[in-house]
Structure 1
Amino acid sequence: MGNIDEAKEELEKILNEKEYTDYSDQSSTIFSNWWEKVENRLADQLEQSFPSLEKISMLAELILTIIIVAVLALIAIALFIIVRNHGRKRKFREATPLQAMKEIDWSYQMHLTEAMKLEKLEKFSSATRHLFLALLLYFHEKEWLEARIWKTNWEYFEELKKVNQQSADQFHHLAYFFDEATYGEREVQKEEYVQFRKVVMTYLVEVDE
């Protein structure tokens, strides 16, 4: 107990010393000093460029504030994009597109027919799902991959890479959109769906669009 009391007294002594107090004061004012220097420099530039302009210092402070807010906003946007992309990659590696035996027992033509029915009902998110499954099972029939309920899109992508790199890259892009429509609770718009269907149909050449 005596050691603890001695340690407390020693700490209080250090905190009360002039050197520590001076260092603390210096640290607390370093930002304000930097701000003032930058503001003065900006004010000098504005005064040289616009000598007739009044209240230069206020304008300089306003401009500096706007710049800092803009930079912070850009940082926030960048962080949001990084987090979102990380989430998309995680879903891509973990999500399994085939959810039931019925889905894998259907042929790709059956999934395509179902997609066309849902498209007419303007249920574009559900139609997107069936279009993607049609593509997946089409690749299965071509023996470019082996469709299984437990497999993820990442595993299918790795299998496709061994057969056709271009198709694998296209599948990668389509799978991200499929994940957002199926697991991300994204309401697919008609224009997005039409573009998605256009790409899928370049593979399903045996079926009339």
Structure 2
Amino acid sequence: MDNVDDARDELEKILNETEYTNYSDQSSTIFSIWLEKAKIWIADQLDQLFPALKTTSMLAGPILTIIIVITLLLMVTVLFFVIRNRSRKRKFRETPPLQSTQEIDWSYQMHVTEAMKQEDLEKFSSATRHLFIALLLYFHEKEWLEARIWKTNWEYYEELKKVNQQSADQFQHLAYFFDEATYGEREVQKEDYVQFQKEVMKYLSEADE
């Protein structure tokens, strides 16, 4: 029992020592120091933009804190979209849309038929894939590009640009949606699929006219 009391007394002594107290205080106030510096920096910027505005009186109030929180949220939002955009571009440049010889051996009409079957089953991600490949093979049939298993959507886009810039831009837009549907980043909803289908069928309907 005496050993327990001695250990407790020793622990209390350590906690009350200046070095430990200073370390604890430093850890607990680091955010406050950063926040205060951020307030001063923002106040300086506001002073430069609006000289008539007296920002020094705002430092002790919640206004600058709100501004800082909003700024941080905006920064996080921008960072999210930048990372997302880079990820989309990387997939667009690196991932071939055709994954097997069977897909390229089918005609684009066969892919359209399969897309309709998947649509009836409400498997919109699969239907999206077949429709996109149908469009790709349609462009191949028109000799606007040359479909190959190893080619990426970026390479197809570059080929289309040489023939039809408007179609190339539309293809790029559809390819981004295809990438999100195929690689699991986006669960395709019926409304999204219907819009995608309309845009693809604008091209494919030309072949039936």
TM-score by length of 1: 0.73
Amino acid at match of 1:132: F
Residue 95 (structure 1) aligns with? 95
**Per-residue CA distance 1:27-65 (angstroms, 9 max, x = gap):** xx89747746949944758xxxxxxxxxxx7xx621211
Amino acid at match of 1:69: V
Residue 155 (structure 2) aligns with? 155
Query: 2-side partners of 1:176 and 1:130: how far apart?
Result: 15
Residue 176 (structure 2) aligns with? 176
Residue 119 (structure 1) aligns with? 119
Correspondence 1:63-142 to 2 at 5 A = 63-142=63-142
Name segments (4+ residues, structure 1) moved above 6 Å: none
Query: 2-side partners of 1:30 and 1:169: how far apart?
Result: 46
Does the CA-based 8 Å contact 1:95-1:152 persist in structure 2? yes
Query: 1-side partners of 2:160 and 2:121: how far apart?
Result: 33
Query: 2-side partners of 1:145 and 1:78: how far apart?
Result: 35
**Per-residue CA distance 1:148-200 (angstroms, 9 max, x = gap):** 00000000000000011000000000000000000134210000000000000
Query: 2-side partners of 1:34 and 1:176: how far apart?
Result: 39
Amino acid at match of 2:186: R
SS across alignment from 2:193: helix
Query: 2-side partners of 1:67 and 1:89: how far apart?
Result: 33
Amino acid at match of 1:184: G
Amino acid at match of 1:187: E
Does the CA-based 8 Å contact 2:39-2:68 persist in structure 1? no
% identical aligned pairs:
69
Query: 2-side partners of 1:113 and 1:132: how far apart?
Result: 12
Does the CA-based 8 Å contact 1:109-1:207 persist in structure 2? no
> Structure 1 pair 62/125, CA: closer, same or farther in 2 (3 Å)?
same
SS across alignment from 1:204: helix
> Structure 1 pair 136/41, CA: closer, same or farther in 2 (3 Å)?
same
TM-score by length of 2: 0.73
Unaligned runs of 5+ in 1: 1-28, 46-56
> Structure 1 pair 34/184, CA: closer, same or farther in 2 (3 Å)?
closer
Equivalent residue pairs, number? 167
**Per-residue CA distance 1:71-92 (angstroms, 9 max, x = gap):** 0110111111111101110000
> Structure 1 pair 33/69, CA: closer, same or farther in 2 (3 Å)?
closer
Amino acid at match of 2:68: I
Query: 1-side partners of 2:132 and 2:196: how far apart?
Result: 9
> Structure 1 pair 42/204, CA: closer, same or farther in 2 (3 Å)?
same
Unaligned runs of 5+ in 2: 1-32, 45-52
Residue 186 (structure 1) aligns with? 186
